[in-house]
């Protein structure tokens, strides 16, 4: 547990978080591994956790058309967060996430953490502020990956 606490406290999303909140998050944490090409979650499925990448790489993907390959929205690596949908209703994934190489991560039980946020609104507000930055980054990445953005219209 001390190892996880040290890792979480140094992760950018949780850096500077007070110890009481960090302890709550730590109680929701476990280590996981993903193999290359393993699907971590799929768009539309229930979102009840999120991940902090310790080692490896995860691509965030969007299927724009059934007959096409998914568009890679973002590639995430060490210390980055995979998933924000666990925090916002209806708690469904908005993208797919796939390990692109052997990946070790910390999984945070988002369902349990949501319950803790309901009990402690200060914790919930702090997490909302921190995850809002992640959402903004992902939306900017989606915009940059939109093929129509570069089309010239006559």
Average of per-residue pLDDT values in the chain: 89
Please indicate, yes or no, if residue 23 is contained in any of the structural domains. yes
Instruction: Examine residue 153 and state whether it is found in any structural domain, yes or no.
Output: no
Q: What confidence score (pLDDT) does residue 12 get?
A: 92
Q: How would residue 141 be classed by pLDDT, with cut points 50, 70 and 90? A: low
First-residue to last-residue Cα distance in the chain? 60
Classify residue 133: in a domain, yes or no.
yes
Sheet holding 58-62, edge to edge: 39-41, 96-99, 58-62, 71-76
Tokens for 113, please give them: 């953490």
On the question of pLDDT at 2 being above 80, the answer is no
In a domain, residue 154? The reply is: no
Residue 151 lies in a domain: no
Long-range pairs for 145-149: beta carbons < 8 A, 24 or more residues apart:
145/62, 145/71, 145/72, 145/73, 147/64, 147/71
Interval 5-45: pLDDT, tens: 888 888 999 999 999 999 999 999 999 999 999 999 999 99
Based on the structure, what is the number of domains in the chain?
A: 1
Give the range with max mean pLDDT: 55-59, 93-97, 134-138. 55-59
Asked, for residue 49, whether it belongs to a domain, the answer is: yes
- The pLDDT, as a whole number, for residue 147 is 56
Task: Provide the residue range defining the domain that includes 10.
Answer: 2-145
Angle between helices 110-119 and 121-145 (to 10 degrees): 130
Give a yes or no: residue 33 inside a domain. yes
User: CATH number for the domain including 101?
Assistant: 2.60.120.10
Q: Is 59 helix (H, G, I), strand (E, B) or coil?
A: strand
Residue 150, domain member (yes or no): no
- pLDDT for 114-130, tens place per residue? 999 999 999 999 999 99
Q: List 39's β-bridge partners, or say none.
A: 98
């Amino acid at each position: 547990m001390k190892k996880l606490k040290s890792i979480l406290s140094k992760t950018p999303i949780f850096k500077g978080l007070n110890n009481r909140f960090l302890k709550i998050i730590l109680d929701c944490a476990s280590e996981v591994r993903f193999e290359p090409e393993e699907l971590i979650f799929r768009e539309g499925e229930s979102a009840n956790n999120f991940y902090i990448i310790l080692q490896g790489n995860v691509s965030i993907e969007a299927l724009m058309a059934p007959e096409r390959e998914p568009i890679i929205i973002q590639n995430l690596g060490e210390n980055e967060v995979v998933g924000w949908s666990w925090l916002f209703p209806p708690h469904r994934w908005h993208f797919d996430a796939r390990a692109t190489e052997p990946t070790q991560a910390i999984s945070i039980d988002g369902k349990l953490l949501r319950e803790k946020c309901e009990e402690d609104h200060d914790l919930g507000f702090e997490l909302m502020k921190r995850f809002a930055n992640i959402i903004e980054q992902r939306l900017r990445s989606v915009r940059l990956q939109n093929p129509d953005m570069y089309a010239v219209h006559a």
